Chain A
Amino acid sequence: MTARPPQDAGAPPGTAFPPPRTAAGEGEGPVCHSGPKHGAGSGRRAPLWATGVSVVTALVLAGVTLTHLAMLFLHIAPPNAVTARYGERIDAYVQPEFGQDWKLFAPNPLQRDEVVLARVRTRDEDGGHRTSEWTNLTARDIEEIRGNPAPSHVHQNMLRRAWDSYVATHGTSDRDTGVRAELATAYLKRVVLQRIGREWRGRPVVALQVGARFTLIPHPWRPAQGTGPGTVSRRTLPWWPVTERDHEGL
């Protein structure tokens, strides 16, 4: 610990400023010589067994580190000969702990505003059905985000990602194919139900429909190609029945 510069303001000014370093050595900085506190051990030569253990540890660490970094690189890299062959094994190593996706706004940012809407169907006493107007759920999120220096994940991510995960697991079809698709449907349904509640105008909700409206953001300097109809598109999901179980825990 002798080489550690006094960082605790106990030193006279000046000594806390190490002399300029060369480019290569920069940042290498004062290292903590972490020799034993009691001063013994460091001066003597290490016995053979200690050197052996040190070397083995170093080799193992080197192997683990390099393997880990190679796995990370291959996981992120575009598909190539290696990932074609060992892709599954690489993913099995990396996922889920080190899973990563850094393509934020890349290769292109989203060029349309996506708005998630929902409407519900209620049942009257006489058995007749009534359908509500579309509610803009995204607008509620935006209202929470506006003027908020630290928006909550509930408003910034939950609904948006629930919709994205539905689209990712379903594509353009609305059929649940597989566990993940079923889960994405149930999740989106519950995210929306949590926001809409059990009742509409005093009547119990028996069915729910979710949809989305996409508005193209105009290009900054190229003249807009057909303003109006072409810039807005929609997707409406099928009606989903709602039971008491869907509200469980919300």
Chain B
Amino acid sequence: MNTITATTADSGAPAAPRPAPPGHRPRTRLARAAGAARTTRAPYQAALFRIAFAAVVTAFLLREWPHRRVLYGDRSPLSFDMALTLLREGGGFTVLSWWGGRPWFEAVYALTIAASLAVLVGWRTRTASVFLLVGVVSLENRNTLVGDGGDNIIRIMVIYLVFVRCARVWSLDARRARGRGAHDSPDRTGVVLWSVTGLLLLWAFGPGTLLTPGWPLLLWALWAVHGLWYTVNRRLPGHHLRTLLDGCAAMVHNCALLVIAVQICLIYSTAGWYKIQGGRWQEGSALHYVLHLDYFTPWPWLSGALASNALLVILLGHLTVVLQVAFPFTLFSRIKNVMVVALIAEHLGIAVLLGIPFLSLVMVACDALFLPTALLLRLGPRCAAPLRRAAGRPPGRAAPPPAGSAGP
């Protein structure tokens, strides 16, 4: 059971209950494995991933605001009819295929930004992440011919994010959860949000879609689970059903984290292993060519200076390949942290040097998933302090302690 749910770092335990050595009680080991599987792993990494990912998506959507209609909207060279043809050919879900009018597009774009901001601060994260999924996938599938690797990663990760419990810490949701307790009043905002979402689904898909597998069914299922979770929390707080649901949600979370981690490893492996086969990467000249591509030289003087230093070009080229190929193999050792820091540094460098900040920064968000908890715990309060100051609260104090809180 442990293999399914192990997060990146949770590798120590054996895959399956092995024949117990004499004196060991298999029952205890099994129970421990089951307990581990039903525990939400790596909440801090998940939260950091959520924040960084949403920040990149928000920044991207805001940056493209002036060009939004040309990229994905009514002024796109890929006209509405052409987009429909492409969707028929390649499949893909987008709510922008329902109507090609500008108001609908503007509404979807604005709602996606709103959802992205909500995920960023962790407000109603479970619902917001679903809205973000629908928004991002809809926009990207409206015109798949303007994206790059960054959009590809965003489109994949936004799906996985829906299944990750990414707001257990460092979020408004977490703060609200701390504030709630014995005096539980019904969560009006949650109920309203859930009802409105239900009406939206009904308006969008109708009840008929419940029978066919696909995106509508997935959205309905998520909606139903949200409702169930709220009801069980309200009515049966101490019931076994709640424990069961919580355990299942944790298992889903753990699986999603594992999938994200493996997906990131696949990205690095593919990029690295295919580079190894290229003559230009073997001889170390590849970077020279990259630095001369006009589309990727926002700072020609900088690229030129770097490209003119042959030794540096060779060194950085080989370093890139080594980092990408080696990364998955270092996950279970201490070197991992060095690798993660090196990859983050490299991506930050690429963001500036090649002028592809959104691709690079979304990779930084992915890399951050592998940062050690100790570091995150140390950085957390330091990052929170300025935020709190900005919000006008005295530093060093916990978030507004609600009276009668049944906090941690």
Contacts A46-B243, A153-B64, A187-B145: A106 and B255 contacting too (C-beta < 8 A)?
Answer: no
Closest to A217 in B: B292
Evaluate contact between A109 and B373: CB separation under 8 angstroms.
Answer: no
Bits for B156-186, please: 1 = Cβ < 8 Å to A, else 0.
Answer: 1001000001001110000001001100000
| Chain A: minimal CB distance from B229 (Å) | 12
User: Which of the residues B249, B275, B355 comes within 8 Å of A149, measured between beta carbons?
Assistant: B355
Judged by a CB distance under 8 angstroms, whether A248 is at the interface is yes
Q: In the complex, how many residue pairs between chain A and chain B have their CB atoms under 8 Å apart?
A: 349
Evaluate contact between B255 and A220: CB separation under 8 angstroms.
Answer: no
Evaluate contact between B250 and A106: CB separation under 8 angstroms.
Answer: no
User: Which of the residues B156, B336, B356, B395 comes within 8 Å of A98, measured between beta carbons?
Assistant: B156
Judged by a CB distance under 8 angstroms, whether B25 is at the interface is no
User: Which of the residues A8, A20, A35, A58 comes within 8 Å of B384, measured between beta carbons?
Assistant: A8
| Chain A: minimal CB distance from B63 (Å) | 5
Contacts A54-B34, A150-B63: A61 and B237 contacting too (C-beta < 8 A)?
Answer: no
Evaluate contact between A105 and B290: CB separation under 8 angstroms.
Answer: yes
| Chain A: minimal CB distance from B295 (Å) | 6
Evaluate contact between B381 and A8: CB separation under 8 angstroms.
Answer: yes
Judged by a CB distance under 8 angstroms, whether B132 is at the interface is no
Evaluate contact between A153 and B168: CB separation under 8 angstroms.
Answer: no
- In the complex, what distance in Å separates the CA atom of A245 from the CA atom of B238? 65
Task: Give chain B interface residues in 112-150, CB to chain A under 8 Å.
Answer: 137, 141, 144-149
Closest to B352 in A: A149
Judged by a CB distance under 8 angstroms, whether A121 is at the interface is no
User: Which of the residues B85, B246, B249, B378 comes within 8 Å of A35, measured between beta carbons?
Assistant: B246
Evaluate contact between B266 and A154: CB separation under 8 angstroms.
Answer: no
Task: Give chain B interface residues in 233-289, CB to chain A under 8 Å.
Answer: 233, 237-244, 246-252, 255, 258-259, 262-263, 266-267, 270-271, 274-281, 285-286, 288-289
User: Which of the residues B38, B149, B289, B358 comes within 8 Å of A109, measured between beta carbons?
Assistant: B289
Residues in A neighbouring B356, C-beta threshold 8 A: 156
Closest to B150 in A: A153
- In the complex, what distance in Å separates the CA atom of A76 from the CA atom of B266? 8
User: Which of the residues A61, A100, A105, A219 comes within 8 Å of B156, measured between beta carbons?
Assistant: A100
Evaluate contact between B280 and A108: CB separation under 8 angstroms.
Answer: yes
- In the complex, what distance in Å separates the CA atom of A46 from the CA atom of B44? 28
Task: Give chain B interface residues in 35-89, CB to chain A under 8 Å.
Answer: 37-45, 59, 63-64, 66-67, 70-71, 74-80, 82, 85-86, 89
Residues in A neighbouring B79, C-beta threshold 8 A: 190, 248-249
Bits for B289-332, please: 1 = Cβ < 8 Å to A, else 0.
Answer: 11011110111100000010010010000000000000000001
Evaluate contact between B64 and A220: CB separation under 8 angstroms.
Answer: no
Evaluate contact between B237 and A37: CB separation under 8 angstroms.
Answer: yes
- In the complex, what distance in Å separates the CA atom of A50 from the CA atom of B42? 25
- In the complex, what distance in Å separates the CA atom of A180 from the CA atom of B82? 10
Closest to A157 in B: B146
- In the complex, what distance in Å separates the CA atom of A126 from the CA atom of B70? 36
Judged by a CB distance under 8 angstroms, whether A72 is at the interface is yes
Judged by a CB distance under 8 angstroms, whether B228 is at the interface is no
| Chain B: minimal CB distance from A30 (Å) | 7
Closest to A98 in B: B156
| Chain B: minimal CB distance from A13 (Å) | 9
Contacts A16-B381, A64-B255, A183-B86: A32 and B145 contacting too (C-beta < 8 A)?
Answer: no
Evaluate contact between A40 and B85: CB separation under 8 angstroms.
Answer: no
Evaluate contact between B377 and A17: CB separation under 8 angstroms.
Answer: yes
Residues in A neighbouring B41, C-beta threshold 8 A: 28-29, 31
Residues in A neighbouring B44, C-beta threshold 8 A: 7, 29-30
Bits for A217-231, please: 1 = Cβ < 8 Å to B, else 0.
Answer: 101110000000000
Evaluate contact between B9 and A27: CB separation under 8 angstroms.
Answer: yes
Task: Give chain A interface residues in 88-105, CB to chain B under 8 Å.
Answer: 95-105
- In the complex, what distance in Å separates the CA atom of A32 from the CA atom of B70? 45
Contacts A9-B395, A154-B70: A23 and B381 contacting too (C-beta < 8 A)?
Answer: no
Residues in B neighbouring A99, C-beta threshold 8 A: 152
Residues in B neighbouring A95, C-beta threshold 8 A: 90-91
Task: Give chain A interface residues in 25-63, CB to chain B under 8 Å.
Answer: 25-42, 44, 46-47, 50, 53-54, 57-58, 61-62
- In the complex, what distance in Å separates the CA atom of A250 from the CA atom of B76? 7
Residues in B neighbouring A17, C-beta threshold 8 A: 374, 377-378
Evaluate contact between A157 and B169: CB separation under 8 angstroms.
Answer: no
Residues in B neighbouring A2, C-beta threshold 8 A: 408
Task: Select the stretch in B187-195, B199-207, B219-227, B396-404 that faces chain A.
Answer: B396-404
Residues of A within 8 A of B (CB): 1-2, 4-10, 16-18, 20-21, 23-42, 44, 46-47, 50, 53-54, 57-58, 61-62, 64-66, 68-69, 72-73, 76, 95-111, 113, 138, 141-142, 145-154, 156-158, 160-162, 165, 179-180, 183, 186-187, 190-191, 193-194, 217, 219-221, 248-250
6 CB contacts below 8 A, A to B, read A37-B181, A61-B252, A149-B352, A190-B77, A194-B70, A250-B77
Residues of B within 8 A of A (CB): 1, 3-5, 7-12, 34, 37-45, 59, 63-64, 66-67, 70-71, 74-80, 82, 85-86, 89-93, 137, 141, 144-149, 152, 155-156, 159, 165, 168-170, 177, 180-181, 233, 237-244, 246-252, 255, 258-259, 262-263, 266-267, 270-271, 274-281, 285-286, 288-290, 292-295, 297-300, 307, 310, 313, 332-334, 336, 352, 355-358, 370-374, 376-378, 380-381, 384-385, 388, 395-399, 406, 408
Question: Knowing that A29-B373, A54-B247 are A-B contacts, what are 7 other residue pairs whose CB atoms are under 8 Å apart, sorted by A's residue number?
Answer: A9-B385, A18-B374, A28-B7, A106-B278, A152-B63, A183-B85, A220-B313
